[in-house]
Each structure stands twice: as C-alpha cells, then as structure tokens.
A = this chain, B = another copy of it.
Amino acid sequence: MSNWKDNIRIVDPYTPGEQPKDKNIIKLNTNENPYPPSPLVEMTIKNFSEDLNRRYPDATADKLISNLAKYHGCDKNQVFAGVGSDDVLGMLFLTFFNSDKPILFPDITYSFYPVWAELFKIPYQTIPLNSSFEINISDYNIPNGGIVIANPNAPTGIYLDKSSVEEIISSNPDSIVIVDEAYIDFAPEGSSCIDLIDKYDNLVVVRTFSKSRSLAGLRVGYALSNPEVIKYLNDVKYSYNSYTLNSLAIEAGSVSIDDEAYFRKTIADIVNTRERFAKELENIGFDVLKSSTNFLFAGNKNINTEDLFNYLKANNIYVRYFKSPRIDNFLRITIGKEEEMERLIEKINEFLTQ
C-alpha cells in the first residue's frame, strides 16, 4: 500500500436528495420551486453574449452584488455571493469557526452543518430541540466557538420568532452567529434578521436563490453582514477560487431580482397551496408541524412511515425520509403545484386504506 493514503482527509459526505431524470416523477424531495424562474432569466440566458463565456467572469460578481445590495438596502461591501448557499456556508465555517470551543447548532437541522464541521475539523456540539421541535434559546448560553441557526429550521419547517433569534445573537457577542434563512421568503413578512446586520457585528445572514427564486440549477447563494466580516470572507474566497460564480450565474441571478411581482406571486401561490395541503393532511390523521417554508414536515404514528415513503416512490412520487432518531416517523414534503399535491393526497389515501 502506498503511503500517500496516510495523508487523505477521509470524510463521510452529505447525501443530497435523489435527482431522478424521469419527467413523469412528481418530485417533492429537494424543496425545489414548482414554478419556473422569472421570464427575465430565460431572456437573459437566450441573449447571453458568447464573449462572456470566453472571458473570465467578473471575480467580484459586481452586477449581482450591487443588485442584491440595492434590493436589501445595504452597501455592496455588506454582500458576499457564492455557488449556492452551501458554498457560502462552507466558506463561513472555514473562515470564522477556528476556535477550540465547539460550535453549536440544533440536533435536528440542516444535516450539512456537521458535515462541514467534520470536513474542516471544527469541534461541534448539537443542542436538542424540545419535544415540539422548537429551539430553547437559553440552551445557547454556553461557551462556544460559533452558532448556526437555520430559520425557519429544516426539515421541521418551524420558524423561531425574530426576538428570540436576536436574543441568541446578543447573548453571544464573542461568537459569529450564522442565521441560515434559506426558506425565509415563505415566512410571514418581517421575519428576517437582515435588518439586524448593522446592529450586531457578529451576525451573518445567509440566503439562497434555490428555493424562492426557482434557481436551484443556477447555484447562487449569498451572505449579508458588516463590511469587516464580508472582507474576511472574501479573502478566504479569493484564496480558494477567484471566480466561483460563472458569468451566466452572475447575469441570470442578477436579473431575477428585478422581477419582484413574479417573485411575490409564486411565493403566495406556494404558501396558499401549503396551507390547504396542511389541512388536508391533518384531516386524514397526520400531525403537521407549523411550516414557514416551502415544505411540510408531517408524521402519522399509526403508520409505518418508511413504508409510506416507499409506496409513494413506487407510485412515482418522491418525498424525503430521514431515518434518524426522533424524526423517523415524519416525511418532508416539498410544496409542488396544486395538481401534484392532489395526486399525492390521493396516493396517501390509497396507502392508508389498502
């Protein structure tokens, strides 16, 4: 055996949801948006100049960054963009979590957090959610090297009220607190912590274009914070890859922000479908956690959840099932189009009555 094998960083990677290619599958397993991106995106891609492919992209992604700054009413130097929010989060972990003390995040949350911690050899401690799958904010008043809160949380869909998030941030002035707002556009207005970035120098808010902007395939995510945090983050980015976003992502991502009416319309449609579908699931005996996202987390103690998951899959409906402690009798179901959810209810009923 060659000795080079002694020097490998051996890791247990994150498992993304399946991406079946069959167009007949109703795909409710990765929280994609059922509606296409803004028509402006398609137009931009069709009119894309070949010269933008030939040349290196703008390393600063200025067009996208400027537009995001304008959208959120902050300065350009408060915005950092990456290849999806995973790239942004990974880089945040690498840049700011270099303490000997453990970073903290809930036991049930985005399952990529422990994977980044393992990859970069960052000590971490998970903090159990309470029996209602809620965060108990006083649990975070312990020595730590950083905190990560997904709000709304995944896969539960539960939103932690803003004043509670603020208390975690203000109680931990010596730690970077990342608030991962991947799903916040599906929560009630005024839920976001973005307006706190000027108040707390330890706060970083992370967003993605993959859910509310229907652009999972384009890979765009971003972080908002104070200029100092963004500068350190950019230094690490430029030490890894000068040009992370390709020119198409910069151009198409940027114009998608311009179509606010379309954006609000698709979000409202998804929220309406979510509320109707949640009631239907409750009517047939499911416990449905209160969702502020584009998915539902629902369980039924009278059935074998894994069997239901497999039954749906056999019927060309993909949802997500986590065979993990505390949540192995729940399914995470992305909100699709009305007709997709009707078909799903039909098949669940079929399973229940078989």
A30 interfacial by beta-carbon distance below 8 Å: yes
Complexed CA–CA distance, A94 and B41 (Å): 35
- In the assembled complex, the CB of A270 is this many whole angstroms from the nearest CB of chain B, namely 13
Pairs of residues from A and B, 5 with the lowest C-beta to C-beta distance, nearest first: A13-B238, A3-B174, A217-B247, A16-B242, A219-B246
Q: How far is the CA of A119 from the CA of B9 in the complex (A)?
A: 15
Residue pair A217, B36 in contact (C-beta under 8 Å)? no
Q: CB-nearest residue of chain B relative to A13?
A: B238
**B239 contacts A11, C-beta separation under 8 Å:** yes
Interface set, chain A 70-98, CB cutoff 8 A to B: 83-84, 86-87, 90, 94-98
Please measure, in the bound complex, the distance between the C-alpha atom of A7 and the C-alpha atom of B35, giving whole angstroms.
42
A315 to B8, CA, bound (A): 49
Given B7, B19, B145, B249, which contacts A146 in the complex, CB threshold below 8 Å?
B7
> Is residue A244 contacting chain B, with contact meaning CB distance below 8 A?
yes
Asked if A322 is at the interface (CB within 8 A of a chain B CB), the reply is: no
Asked if residues A37 and B19 are in contact (CB atoms below 8 Å), the reply is no
| Contact (Cβ within 8 A) A115 B239 | yes
Q: Are B98 and A217 in contact (CB under 8 A)?
A: no
Known: A42-B50, A50-B41, A217-B246. A30 touches B14 (CB 8 A): no
A28 to chain B: closest CB distance in Å? 12
Most buried by B among A8, A46, A173, A247: A8
B55 with A119: CB separation less than 8 A: no
Besides the known contacts A6-B99, A83-B83, 7 further A-B residue pairs in the complex with CB atoms under 8 A apart:
A12-B239, A19-B57, A45-B46, A56-B216, A83-B246, A86-B242, A246-B249
